[in-house]
Amino acid sequence: MSLAAEFHCLSDHDPDALAVDQARAFIRSQLAPLQTRERVALRSALGRVLAGDVIAPFAVPAHDNSAMDGYALRRADLSQVAGTCLRVVGTTWAGKAFAGTVAAGECVRIMTGALLPPDCDTVVMQEVVAVDGDEIIVPPGQRPGQNVRRAGEDLAAGKPALAGGRLIGPAELGLIASLGVAEVSVFRRLRVAFFSTGDELCSIGTPLGDGEVYDSNRYTIFAMLTRMGCEVLDLGVVGDRPALLEEAFRQAAAAADVVITSGGVSVGEADFVRDLMATLGEVLFWKIAMKPGRPMAFGRIRGAGEGAPGAWLFGLPGNPVAVMVAFLQFVRDALYLLMGADPVPGVPLLPAVSAVALKKSPGRTEYQRGVLADGRVRPAGAQGSGILRSMSDANCLIVLEHGRGNIAVGDPVSVQLFDGLL
Ligand code: AMP
Ligand code: MG
């Protein structure tokens, strides 16, 4: 079925007033992970997606060990009503185990991470113990088995330590290292080509002409893609001329899995892009019920020859903030899905309280740049869709949902945290 036919099947989808959730769900329904694997050294796996489960070759921790600096002892020796006097017969360090045995009435000084001597099952922390020569007094009230990390309590041997589809961040890298695994199988990086459209755009390094603006979208898009671990291909600025655009689309689709453009999808500009796309592939032009970021195109550009895979296209609006908001709402999800991430990591959505009154019209989702602190959120400054300054000052987007009207001081609102994402 064609993309347009599939879109129309979903009867309540109106391309001129598409709700954010519907657009996001439709995009996701069309995509499937790319699935090409490669093996990489552990450090190179940072930011990549695991292509298969990482199995724990042994239990972690491998042996019972101490969670504290203190004394290892036998629970049967402890009195629950009075202090217990024990003789210290040795010391055990992490990496240097106590070789002797611990008899009744004895204990061993133990350091954090050190193996528990086989005769011992409980650790008492050093701070509560009174030391007298080679003897200690343990106060009553100790819990049998306390302060011991059990063998296998973190990971069981032979079980998946991490499932395929997991995005590898710092914690995952450390976890894999703790298993002694030096190489992992990951999906290949997603290749994303992008260009900006607009006769008024000037690339940095060239003096600005009359009425020109510097192209900032290629920088925000580059940055967002790079943070996601994509391989990026910057195709520069393309003027608003069909022949130039056609060449750029063909080149981008031949080189990449995904093509992202900015500008040229708003009313008035969209017409010739629409005609062009009808010959190059199949692309839907939407007006999404959102602010900022209303116009957007989504679809596929065909490959050049038989068997050529072609590329997914996201035609984002031109306004610099609209680009970032649309990327966060639609493109990020889609790219993670194509990368093989499972589950697709969502943007953290938190409850907050609005510190100010906010104007809002029902019937569209609005995203305001906000500053969240101590559960209260306020706008980060002027909200014009070209103003990157307030995007930079913000640490979140205040999400004013589709059906909502004006917000009063103290009303609950949701915020999307983008620290580290944008
Ligand atoms: P458009 O969607 O092409 O109508 O562009 C909307 C607004 O965004 C216009 O003011 C453009 O000048 C501006 N704009 C478009 N592309 C860029 C870009 N790459 N960098 C900065 N501003 C842009
Ligand atoms: Mg334009």
Helix (H, G, I), strand (E, B) or coil at 280: helix
Sequence-distant (≥ 6) Cβ neighbours of residue 92 within 8 angstroms: 72, 98, 108, 109, 110, 111, 114, 115, 117
If you average pLDDT over residues 313-328, what whole number do you get?
97
Q: Does residue 342 have its Cβ closer than 6 Å to ligand 1?
A: no
Q: Does residue 328 have its Cβ closer than 6 Å to ligand 1?
A: no
Q: Does residue 215 have its Cβ closer than 6 Å to ligand 1?
A: yes
Mean pLDDT of the chain: 95
Q: What is the pLDDT of residue 275?
A: 87
Sequence-distant (≥ 6) Cβ neighbours of residue 41 within 8 angstroms: 182, 183
Atom of ligand 1 nearest to the CA of 268: 4
Instruction: Tell me the ligand closest to 384's alpha carbon.
Output: 1
The answer, yes or no, to whether residue 211 has pLDDT greater than 70, is yes
Q: What is the pLDDT of residue 270?
A: 77
Residue nearest ligand 1's atom 17 by CA: 318
Distance 172 CA to ligand 1 centre (A): 39
Q: What is the pLDDT of residue 36?
A: 96
The answer, yes or no, to whether residue 22 has pLDDT greater than 80, is yes
The answer, yes or no, to whether residue 327 has pLDDT greater than 70, is yes
Q: What is the pLDDT of residue 197?
A: 96
Q: What is the pLDDT of residue 421?
A: 63
Distance 280 CA to ligand 1 centre (A): 23
Q: How confident is the model at residue 11 (pLDDT cuts 50, 70, 90)?
A: low
CA distance 362 to 376: 23
Q: Does residue 216 have its Cβ closer than 6 Å to ligand 1?
A: yes
Q: How confident is the model at residue 422 (pLDDT cuts 50, 70, 90)?
A: low
Distance 264 CA to ligand 2 centre (A): 4
- Residues near ion ligand 2 (Cβ under 5 Å): 198, 263, 318
Q: How confident is the model at residue 63 (pLDDT cuts 50, 70, 90)?
A: very high
The answer, yes or no, to whether residue 254 has pLDDT greater than 90, is yes
Sequence-distant (≥ 6) Cβ neighbours of residue 364 within 8 angstroms: 289, 290, 291, 402
Dihedral of the alpha carbons of 194, 197, 199, 205, in degrees to the nearest 10: -20
Helix (H, G, I), strand (E, B) or coil at 185: strand
Q: What is the pLDDT of residue 79?
A: 94
What percent of the chain stands above pLDDT 90?
A: 90
Q: Does residue 266 have its Cβ closer than 6 Å to ligand 1?
A: yes
Q: Return the minimum-mean-pLDDT range out of 343-352, 391-400, 412-421.
A: 412-421
Distance 294 CA to ligand 2 centre (A): 14
Q: What is the pLDDT of residue 420?
A: 64
Q: Could you report the per-residue pLDDT of 262-307, keeping only the tens digit for each?
A: 999 988 787 788 888 889 999 999 999 999 999 999 999 999 888 8
With the most atoms of ligand 1 within 8 angstroms of its CB, the residue from 214, 220, 319, 388 to mutate is 319
With the most atoms of ligand 1 within 8 angstroms of its CB, the residue from 212, 213, 220 to mutate is 213
Question: 323-359: buried (b, 16+ CB within 10 Å) or exposed (e) per residue?
Answer: bbbbbbbbbbbbbbbbbbbbebeebeeeebebbeebe
Lookup: tokens for 70: 């203190």
Q: How confident is the model at residue 8 (pLDDT cuts 50, 70, 90)?
A: confident
Residue nearest ligand 1's atom 20 by CA: 215
Q: Could you report the per-residue pLDDT of 155-199, keeping only the tens digit for each?
A: 999 999 999 999 999 999 999 999 999 999 999 999 999 999 999
Q: What is the pLDDT of residue 206?
A: 94
Lookup: tokens for 25: 């769900």
CA distance 422 to 394: 10
Q: Return the minimum-mean-pLDDT range out of 30-34, 59-63, 134-138, 257-261.
A: 59-63
With the most atoms of ligand 1 within 8 angstroms of its CB, the residue from 195, 201, 222, 234 to mutate is 201
Atom of ligand 1 nearest to the CA of 386: 8
Q: Could you report the per-residue pLDDT of 374-412, keeping only the tens digit for each?
A: 999 999 999 999 999 999 999 999 999 999 999 999 999
Q: Could you report the per-residue pLDDT of 23-60, keeping only the tens digit for each?
A: 999 999 999 999 999 999 999 999 999 999 999 999 99
Instruction: Tell me the ligand closest to 268's alpha carbon.
Output: 1
Residue 53's CB is within 10 A of a number of other CB atoms, namely: 15
Q: Could you report the per-residue pLDDT of 87-120, keeping only the tens digit for each?
A: 999 999 999 999 999 999 999 999 999 999 999 9
Q: Does residue 65 have its Cβ closer than 6 Å to ligand 1?
A: no
Tell me the pTM: 0.90
Atom of ligand 1 nearest to the CA of 196: 19
CA distance 56 to 63: 14
**Residue reference for tokens 């528990």:** 116
Q: How confident is the model at residue 356 (pLDDT cuts 50, 70, 90)?
A: very high
Residue nearest ligand 1's atom 10 by CA: 319
